[in-house]
Structure 1
Amino acid sequence: MLYYEYDSHQNRFMADHSYPKEVIRSELIKLTYELSKNKVAFFTDGRSNVIIAPEYTIFSRLKQRIKNIFSDIKNHRKHIYVLSDKEVKHTKSLPMIETEMIEGKVDLGSYDAVVFSSKNGVKYIDRLNPEWKKIPAYAISAQTAKMIKNLGGKVAFVGKEKHGDEFAQELLTHLKGKRTAYIGAQDTVSNFMKILKENGIECDHIPVYRTVCKAHEKKISLPKGSVVIFSSPSTIECFFKNVEWDESFKAISIGRTTAKYFPDFIQPLIAENTSLESCVYKALSL
């Protein structure tokens, strides 16, 4: 699934409403069909979310709606910060990084496959060379795959592990015999390229953007008990240039690779999936 994400805390599938209703509806049909086929009891709420429940009655639907209202009120009071300019429900935006496109000609004519480990890689290659859309694309996660589809690319594979090193292992059989372009950031933190090359995959790294810290005029003070979501090693670096850490804060890491870059005095919680939405679900469960 690309447009639904499972929230294990609430035992429900949440729709990504940043995409058209027609897209959500199409995947909703597929999801509910699979649940019905496997005799899993469920019902849908007014937001097209799918709730796993042992019973389906008017009372259970009403109960869920009331629960949603009180949950929204409670969650609105929490101090959850996303370190980007993306608007995510139940969070406050605190941009710490900016991305810059690396100008230059990118020739993709000799490649049989393109690999993306971030949405930014997709966004910037589309500006530099839209011919990438003709080449089968391999995405690390559903979030990246959605960007590929949204821009008209051909999604050949979506990673299940959603972490850099594991994603490389997943791709070994898929990329065998293919000349591959790994399109992404100037600086990489996983062993992705190393794993592919050690297993005989011909792969070139094509950097299309760089990440820089966003300049803030003075130190930022956050409320006690804040939960901060870190989506990359660069957000960790840039956060500590602008904010003093308080022992009452909690950190959520988008993945295992990012988690390795925290200072020793912080033990982050790791989201179940590599998306900001999954990080938010983790934060709301605290």
Structure 2
Amino acid sequence: MKDIKKIITSLNLVYFDYDYEKNLFINDVDYTNENIKKEFFKITYILSKNNILFDVLENNTLIAINKRFSFFDKLFKRVQNKIDNYNNSKANIYLLNNQKKRWAKNIPLFKIDYLKKEIDLTKYDSLVFTSQNAATAVNNINKSWKEIPSYVIGKETAKKVKELGGNLKLIAQKSNNYDFTNELVSTLKNKKVLYIRGNKVTSNICSELIANNISCEEIILYENNYVEPLKKETLPKNSKIIFSSPSTVEYFFKTFNWDYSFKAISIGKTTLKYFPSNIKPILSEKTSLNACIKKAIML
């Protein structure tokens, strides 16, 4: 078989992840749009071009490598999915934002306030995003950002750039800002970079780029502000709480007391560093909310 790792890397996937143990491409979102359809057809085209046997399951959400499934295999899979859906819906999994995700409940602890600023994008030929909110913010102000190559960290940010019609150039291979900056240094030589960010950041990407002789400016286009719940919820024993940023760690412990039975799931290594010393969070394998939910289900 062709080197599947090289093929997967060349695809630069946003919506599908590859499970090397099960030999499956898995769509990690629970909705569909034109970008997902395009990515599905890109995968199946490349597999066919390389003469790799595959089969498709579950309304194009699964692509199995080197397999053909019988009618009974597919029927069993559908039944198993219904059982899993029922069991997972009973789990006490919490997101600390208002994003609707299958099997997770929401406790919004912050709001995003977008700032209205004039911005001249003609001076730049590269944009850096570390948050999907940054992409939304610039899209609210100046649509011409879509013509400029975007360099992002995290699948959630990549999806937002794609869905807004942006020019996605690079998705960071690593899940923390330090490694992301190192990737940028090797990619953005001789570029004029604009780093679009919020009021709270965990590292100074622009300073690091400048230190490596890369022209970089930054602009704050949104604010992340704490919102105290109108009704303070009592979380049940054995709750699994997903922390998607350092600010969600801050806001959670500002609002709730920690119970020894709780499980904390951190979306990435940067967020991991912000937990109190008595909490031992579990790191998600991938920097996406769906991957965090999957990890929570397995606990």
Distance of 1:137 and 1:156 partners within structure 2:
5
Q: Kindly state the Cα deviation for residue 188 of structure 1 after the two structures are TM-superposed.
A: 1.0
Residue in structure 2 matched with residue 91 of structure 1 by the alignment: 104
Match of 2:58 in 1: 46
Write the distance in 1 (CA, Å) between the matches of 2:186 and 2:106: 40
Residue 154 of structure 1 deviates from its aligned partner by 1.5
Partner residue, 2:14: 2
Number of the residue aligned with 2:277: 264
Cα displacement (A) at 1:56? 2.0
2 CA distance for matches of 1:131 and 1:23?
A: 20
In the alignment, structure 2 segments of 5+ residues that lack a partner are: 1-12
Matched residue, 2:3? none
- What CA distance in whole angstroms lies between the structure 1 residues aligned with 2:22 and 2:231? 39
Verify the 8 A CA contact 2:112 2:225 in the aligned structure 1.
Answer: yes
- The equivalences for 1:34-183 within 5 A come to 34-35=46-47, 42-50=54-62, 52=64, 56-183=69-196
Aligned-partner Cα distance in 1 for 2:22–2:80: 11
C-alpha change, 1:37 and 1:60, in structure 2 (3 Å) is farther
Whole-Å separation in 2 of the counterparts to 1:65 and 1:159 = 34
Paired residue secondary structure (2:123): coil
Q: Are 2:20 and 1:30 equivalent residues in the alignment?
A: no
Which TM-score applies when normalising by structure 2? Answer: 0.87
Which residue type is aligned with residue 25 of structure 1? Answer: K
| 1:192 and 2:211 aligned | no
Alpha carbons 1:134, 1:154 under 8 Å: kept: yes
1:40 CA displacement: 6.4
User: Does 168-177 or 126-135 show the bigger shift?
Assistant: 126-135
Q: Secondary structure at the match of 1:109?
A: helix
Match of 1:216 in 2: 229
User: For residues 6-46 of structure 1, what are the alpha-carbon distances to aligned partners after superposition, in whole Å with 9 as ceiling and x for unaligned?
Assistant: 467876433234342x4333322222344566676653223
Q: Which amino acid aligns with 2:263?
A: K
Task: Show the counterpart of 2:7.
Answer: none
Moved more, 186-195 or 1-10: 1-10
In structure 2, do the counterparts of structure 1 residues 125 and 25 end up closer, same or farther at CA, with 3 Å as the change threshold? closer
Amino acid corresponding to residue 124 of structure 1 in structure 2? A
Deviates more, 1:41-50 or 1:267-276: 41-50
Checking the alignment, whether the CA contact within 8 Å between 1:163 and 1:274 is kept in structure 2 is no
1:246 positional shift? 0.4
Equivalent position amino acid for 1:248 in 2:
S
Q: Which residue of structure 2 aligns with residue 18 of structure 1? A: 31
- Residues in 2 aligned to 1:162 and 1:23: alpha-carbon distance in whole angstroms: 23
User: Secondary structure of 1:122's match?
Assistant: helix
SS in 2 for 1:278: helix
CA RMSD between the two structures: 2.2
How far the C-alpha of 1:55 sits from its partner, in A, is 5.1
Kept in 2, the 8 Å contact 1:259–1:270? The answer is yes
Q: Distance in 2 between matches of 1:241 and 1:149?
A: 34
Aligned residues: 285
Q: Note if contact 2:30-2:102 (Cα within 8 Å) is conserved in structure 1.
A: no
CA 215–266 in structure 1, closer or farther in 2 if over 3 Å, else same: same
Q: Secondary structure at the match of 2:117?
A: coil
- In terms of mean alpha carbon deviation, does 272-281 or 1-10 score higher? 1-10
Deviations 1:243-278 (A, max 9, x none): 111010000111100110000111111112111111
Aligned residue in 1 for 2:296? 283
For 1:118 and 1:105, how far apart are their aligned partners in 2? 20
Return the offset for 1:132: 1.6
One-letter code aligned to 1:5 = D
